[in-house]
Amino acid sequence: MEHLHSTEAALTALRSIAREYSREIEVSHDIGADQTSRRTAAGVGVTADPDGSLPHEAFVEFGGSPRISVRLYPDDDGDGDADALIIVEGVECPDVPRDSVPAFVRSVLSGLAYVRGRRFPPGYRLIVPLPGDETYKEFIPMVTLTPWLSARVR
């Protein structure tokens, strides 16, 4: 997978996927320490990080079915490993590395993602395979199975 060095690079990749799958995409940006998810920690009127950079956070919503939203967080610790929260039909997939976000979304839109059901103990999991033998598995409460999720139960 390609290294996405910034939030804007991840947004460019997501816009490309939206065009590839003929999906509408809506993006909102939060720029500055006082606007990102770290609002309370930043202090009043503080927009830049201590190193002088402006943190950039974005929220992306894809139109159509399945409903997919992505929150791209800024790199808070400076190591280049920013995370994202991806929500597919109401199922939250937290802590997805920013570099894996395009592959994750492409896997869902291309039909590779599926739901695994279990009889005992009863439950469901959303399974999203990525290239390189990486797989994300998230628990789905039985009451939240949407028609799209139900159609992918194996």
pLDDT in tens, 6-51: 778 889 999 999 999 999 999 887 755 545 554 444 455 555 555 5
Alpha helices in the chain (DSSP H): 7-20, 39-42, 101-109, 147-150
Residue 142: its pLDDT value, please? 74
- H or E, element range at 88: strand 83-88
Residue 16: its pLDDT value, please? 96
Q: Which two tokens stand for residue 46?
A: 């503080």
pLDDT in tens, 55-101: 668 899 999 999 999 998 876 555 556 688 999 999 999 989 989 99
pLDDT in tens, 122-132: 889 999 999 98
pLDDT in tens, 94-117: 989 989 999 999 999 999 999 998
Residue 89: its pLDDT value, please? 95
Q: Which two tokens stand for residue 24?
A: 């509408």
Q: How many CB atoms neighbour CB 87 within 10 A?
A: 16
Residue 66: its pLDDT value, please? 95
Residue 116: its pLDDT value, please? 94
What is the rounded CA–CA span in Å between residue 70 and residue 153? 23
**Between the CA of residue 23 and those of 62, 99, 128, 145, what are the distances in Å?**
6, 21, 20, 23
- pTM metric for this prediction: 0.82
Q: Which two tokens stand for residue 100?
A: 């894996």
